[in-house]
Amino acid sequence: MKDNSTDKTTHIVRQAHQAFVQMSNIKGVERSHAVLLMATKLEECLDDILQANTLDLEISKEMAVPDLILEWLKLTPQRLQTSIEILKTLAELPDPFQKVINSPYQVTYCQNYSQLMPLGVIAFIYEALPELAIITAGLATKTGNSLILRGSSDASNTNTIITQVLQVALEDANFPSGCLQFLPSEEGYSIEDLVTLDQYINLIIPYGRPSLIQKVTQLATAPVLKSAIANCGLYWSSSSDLDLVRHVIIDSYKSIPDRVNAIEKVLINKNHSSNSIVRLFNHLKEQKLNLLGDESLVAEFPDYLTLAKPYHWQQPLFNHRIAFRIVDDLDSAITWMNEYSSGHANCIVTDSYQEGRTFAMEIDSALVYVNSSPRFYRYLPGSNSVFLGISSQKGHRRGLISLETFTTQKQIVMGNAETSPISYGIGDGE
């Protein structure tokens, strides 16, 4: 027998599905207008949102919430304003559904093509990071999808007021009621109840620590787009100097607050001198980074490193920690990264074109950086690109989670009585 919370979840998700069906006739210009209204309403309620966030922070500190979550939770005026600017950028972008794509196959005597279409109902399950609800709502609205938000209890007050503001904007834009839903975790709406409603939900996007991603993936019966944060690797080739390595590592930590592409594992070619390694460690220490190492490095540099535990190599370290290990060569580095990294972003610093090319082709990663910082940007002022995060899973949605990620393709074949295969005597058995 189902409990009351399960019935309530089903009811809300069904409403989101019905709203999506009603949205099919909404034009692109109307979707853009709705996204712009979201931005306007958020600007009007900026102080209220920040006050709610302050309350969440005070409660979370009393509950001894981990520092990482507190960092993700704390909304600054700049973070909130950046999210509003992202909405304004999305509003100005062309309607994604006006784009026609060549069909992967051709039917004789017919015209056939592919076109982007909305996915349907999207569920976004996230830890802290309240501004991500704003960005996701913008992406979903721009692409004509219904959205269900399920945030963590740490950001309860902030999530509530943000959702209310966004819902008012959609109501003013004459969007159907139910196209943006919010499931407060503190009211008993469980993740399991949500992610098993595959008859209504078309995509689930979990965002947070690996424990959340794993939980959603294991429970879900609807499709899941796994996001990834940190645990990126860098190989410091014997043919590269120190300056670029220092820049790439430090710059990777400058995306705030969730350092999506932070380099947390550095593989050092065995031919580097102790002097170069010490200079790197000194510089990173000055940047308040905590350094770990394998047994050989800890034995040689005990004043700089603490010993990394076996589990440290397989998961994000967070909290400004980097682990170092010695490898024999490029092949060893590639083998190690393919086994232990999160597979969403990996780097190499080298003066050798051939090494860079080999790394790019053989590393199993959604994004590969050669002599470049992997720093993640959700939005660069002046650009037309907006990214929610990065997916490490294989398939057509691997890599940057963008506007197109919220769409699917429909293949259309157009013929007529004069040009159809039947009129030429081509049919079953012919």
Classify strands 232-236 and 345-349 as parallel, antiparallel or unpaired.
Answer: parallel
Classify strands 407-414 and 399-401 as parallel, antiparallel or unpaired.
Answer: unpaired
Q: How would you label 371-407 residue by residue, b for 16+ Cβ within 10 Å and e otherwise?
A: eebbbbebbeeeeeebbbbbbbbeeebbbbbbbbbbb
pLDDT in tens, the chain (430 residues): 456 778 899 999 999 999 999 999 999 999 999 999 999 999 999 999 999 999 999 999 999 999 999 999 999 999 999 999 999 999 999 998 877 777 766 777 777 888 889 999 999 999 999 999 999 999 999 999 999 999 999 999 999 999 999 999 999 999 999 999 999 987 878 999 999 999 999 999 999 999 999 999 999 999 999 999 999 999 999 988 899 999 999 999 998 889 999 999 999 999 999 999 999 999 999 999 999 999 999 999 999 999 999 999 999 999 899 999 999 999 999 999 999 999 999 999 999 999 999 999 999 999 999 999 999 999 887 778 899 999 988 877 899 999 999 999 888 888 876 655 544 444 555 4
pTM of the model: 0.91
Domain ranges of the chain: 4-227+388-413, 232-370
CATH H-level superfamily of 4-227+388-413: Aldehyde Dehydrogenase; Chain A, domain 1 (3.40.605.10)
130 phi, psi to nearest 5 deg = -60, -25
CATH class of 232-370: alpha beta
